[in-house]
Amino acid sequence: MFRKGTQLPTARFAAAVTAPLLIAGALFTFSVAPAQAKGTCEDAAELAVLSSPVAPWKGAPLRVVFAAEHPTDGELSLIAPDGRVAAKSRQRYGGPPYFWFAEVTSPAAGTWRATLSGNRECGTITREIAVRGDEPPRPGAAAGTVWPLRNTWNRATENLFSAWVEKLFDAPLDAAPSWPALHEVLRDRSRNILFNHLGLGEDEMKIVLRPDCADLPYFLRAYFAFKMGLPFGYSKCSRGGAGKPPKCFGWSSIQAADAAKRPGLAATFGDYMRTVADGVHSGTGRTPASDDNTDYYPVALKQETLRPGTVYADPYGHILMLVRRVSQTSDGAGVFLAVDGQPDGTVARKRFWRGNFLFAQDPALGSPGFKRFRPIMLENGTLRRLTNAEIAKNPQYGDFSLDQTRLGIEAFYDRMDDVMSPAPLDPLRAMTEAITALEEQVKARVTSVENGRKFQNSGRGDAEMPEGASIFETTGAWEDFATPARDLRLLIAIDVVRGFPDRVARRPERFAMPKDKSAADVKAQLESVLASELSTQKFSYTRSDGSSWTLALKEVVNRMPALEMAYNVNDCVELRWGAPEHSAEASTCKRHAPSAQRAKMTQYRAWFQERRRPPRA
């Protein structure tokens, strides 16, 4: 199971100027019209453009992405050689970066034009794309590297990486999409802008990718780098323990990979992903923020730095990746959406909130928080990572920051609230958002518990339960199907929702409080609405006999004591949802964890009662 050249510059466009843009090893020309004052358009249009596949031809769909660092209006059109507009889109994704996407399923051979028009400052920006009539030569392997290098990491390629990530996991805000494995997402050509980008049929070769949470960011970064011919590498690190944070002791790039090469570029990539999965783990994301010898570096908590592809490492070992920012509107709070991988291979999208993104400051745990992949550059023929100081001074990045290390727990979450929703929030609407996030978290647990039920029915016997803190990070069936870390986060999430009225009373300046009501009045109203909403919101799970049982969120909240000991995969699903003994709900339960395991769970219960994860031994 998987656990895991030539520079591509950022294009700046000035009016009536023809600017070259080198993308994926090919030179293209852009024209800008009509004339405007120089500087205005240059500042506004900072663009990166990608056409896919790497060598367009009439036998493959043509996909085009325009990505901008700054918000701008526009319509993306793909114009055929005969002058016909074959595809167009005014939909602008993201922010930042902001991007447009258009596709033609069967492009005719000849010279196509991709235009971004409608921008008042820049006029129309045009890119010419040559589409071949015959199938192009297929790219092959290069000596001394897992895949050949064609581009470098910079603002342009980083923005395209963000655009690719956002499009890959795009779904309506009120959806909670999940996939059995990462390869299911990558094989979806409607999502994956880089589907078969190399022209090898590489995304139809059934390469299996089942990353856990720590592997997922690396798999996504490596996949993009593989398709775009960009540098990649990873560190081998300790997990920390005995009062010391994780520390990295070695770094391996695609130039020094120990993965055995197989015939074919795609097969070699698949083998290399196994090597990466064996090398990285959750400790890799928690390395000290000031350390240069790491794969990630910390950023400030700002809208412009928290972009798709940014990683979040919690202090206890869970890793997520941001995939979208939704701006605050008059009707709703701002939202950050992220994806994570689970031990059973499931990849799911979820929103930022206290129940999913845990934060604490403890030097022994390392540095949690939001981080970005450290840029890797080719220097004198050898790949190396930039240091924190180099990132801070690099005009293509410049976003290294230790600000998060100076924030306490409440200050961190308050700062994130300010970033997501700069304007004061309607307290009732904000609480509704929190209830929705809790509901999403509960429904995600339904999938995990159901996977455990299927494991029980497989006839493989009881899963072995680890000792002590290892229940949160181990291998085998326990890692795949038990839910101690998920349940700890769920208990914290319940606390957040239950305590929301108190939070509004504690920080009324953060909310758009009704002028005719006191903070106490608003708190009382919120408590009343909370009780009603928890009773109304319902979900169903599958019991041991295959029948469905429906619960309200209120019942989950009331069962918090039972949920402190509901993570063992060897227990029936009814017990894992806290069904009262001798109840109709529990009548279908036919399986219990061994008494020795129940005794250990009783011993470890204090961790869940106190909402704390124990340090590694």
Mean pLDDT in order along the chain per 10 residues (617 residues): 34 29 32 34 68 97 95 92 97 93 98 88 87 94 91 96 98 92 97 97 94 96 98 95 91 77 85 94 94 98 97 93 94 93 90 90 93 97 97 96 96 94 92 93 94 93 93 86 93 95 91 92 96 97 97 98 97 97 96 96 96 80
Distance, C-alpha 11 to centroid of its chain: 27
The strand order across the sheet containing 178-179 reads 178-179, 347-351, 335-341, 319-326, 311-313, 369-373, 296-298
Residue 523: CB atoms within 10 A of its CB come to 20
Write the CB contacts of 130 (distance below 8 Å, at least 6 apart in sequence): 56, 110, 111, 112
Q: Please give the Cα distance from 548 to 459 (Å, whole number).
A: 22
Quote the pLDDT of residue 361: 92
Query: Spelled out in words, what is the top-level CATH class assigned to the domain 19-131?
Result: mainly beta
Q: Within the chain, which residue ranges are assigned CATH 2.60.40.1930? A: 19-131
End-to-end CA distance of the chain: 27
Position 135: which residue type?
E
Residues linked to residue 33 through DSSP beta bridges, in sequence order: 124
Distance between CA 311 and CA 336 in Å, rounded? Answer: 12
Tell me how far CA of residue 92 lies from CA of 100, 125, 303, in angstroms: 5, 16, 17
Three-state SS sequence of 244-279: ECCCEEEEEEHHHCCCCCCCCHHHHHHHHHHHHHHH
> The pTM is what?
0.86
- What 8-state DSSP symbol labels residue 284? G
Q: What is the pLDDT at residue 564?
A: 97
Identity of residue 419? V
| Helix boundaries (H) for 458-594 | 477-481, 484-498, 500-506, 519-536, 553-558, 560-563, 573-576
Q: How many CB atoms lie within 10 A of CB 25?
A: 16
